[in-house]
Structure 1
């Protein structure tokens, strides 16, 4: 089969690769029809995620058609059109029983915190991802769901991570009616979090970024107020003044280990494999939220080797909530919102590229070329 293959930092290629096979009775093989490139994939692309091995196929956002199933699979069958959450999870451990699918205890021998993630290095289980013609889906009776007839593939693929994660970020903020919500980061997850904040009763939504084309999308898609932090002297002071000198009720960090990467990140990541991410956005969140407020962290962080203002968070009485999104838990409500016309997640899709152009798509997304916000990979 053809697949995107990692060959080192900033080097991905389309190559011929062995088609995955059923390895366990509960496996399925899915023929991919849509995949996406996520901002989190750029951490891998930049060589900033530990144990990203040459030969790995990325892609934790994908949908497709079941091509083959193991003998014990009962919930999906050959020919079903399915959407696959980015979480690999067993469905029966202590954490899965509590809906914490991202923290499954049985699918990742390399970590005690995160469960399995498709196409996201051996730190997250070593599962190949869906930026390929075929992908192996383990535990197929638990993860994938049949796509409703009324939903097309472009919508379904966005539900496998980006939309679900943005919605989850707003959920973790415990937004109540009239709250002022600030979202740091106007990438896909930040845009979805800002739009979701309205669905939860927000009174004001303010999106902070430094790329004007993404702020334009925040205004048109998320109906948010926007601030370009590069055009103000001090973003925290600006936000405090703009919120009655109290601060926002809820701040959502949708930046994390910045996808652009700074010099220190690149040096420590590629040479020492100590990628931890810049704490700038998280510290802004701690400073910009009001006393007694809530911070929701959706940005992807590795092990932190930088100073976070935890003492300030404690002294302000802040609530910090965070996790990888348990994707499948968000689907029932999101299905309702989409079917009722409250949001169309494809509004943020800027590019649709064939699999053979995947290397160019990574370069375009990484370099922020051509107004790229969310690229989809289209397969037949």
Structure 2
């Protein structure tokens, strides 16, 4: 890819003195993706609008202090288990595992000190047609009480003029569970635009979603059809079009905070499209994961500031998180999150940016 290049510098320092590095991958034009080794975070994603202007489209912080001070998962790699596990408990080969409970009665996003709070190592940088950086993290047996050592390898690469690919692999030395995702908060009008993503149009290639209880754990029922409900995004519609309807599921999630059932079977395929009305930016998401969490930023409450010193408020961003379904270790009818020593966990997601006339 002509003009593509990679740069690396120091983004900040941890309290123990270790350096947090930033890696920048540049594609064609002004397309650019920036990552930091703390949490394997997507710190910035610079994409063009319909008039050829480039802007950052993910929320976060301009300086490392913001990421260190508040655990909000902005752009973070989430693990060992993304989303929730009911009561922080599951059984594996007859043995009960008790995790830390850090989200009401449930375990969320890997516990009190998940992968989003770890310093990842740079294992490789590749120049060339598809510039890439590979980050690794080894989670020891018993970390956050998860069984088994888990060796995780993550690669970010620019695989098209305005396309970012994410590939993750994990291996274990004993039976365990694993479910990883990236937790970027998108606003395609721009991270500092101070505009609501309720006006974004969303398409989700799913006919079913997981209904949840008030603590966001899937109900003990099969996936629920989206047809006739506020959760039907099979055709593009505004995120906010039906978000204020008197629907019990919208009350339980305080908006959208639900997993859509994609039925992937390990094959990369189109999952969602997000469209910004003013800038004309469009993001298409492809994944091989069986679920896509759609979160409409319901708990962003204006108590912290992000890039450009802007307060981050409700619906300032939307998250599209591909992963295995929540609470799968306790639901044999769900896609399995089990990983054995002879297996390799794999996850691939592609973010492709295009434009249309606004």
- Tell me the TM-score normalised to structure 2 length: 0.32
- Tell me the TM-score normalised to structure 1 length: 0.30
Question: Which is helix-richer, 1 or 2?
Answer: 1
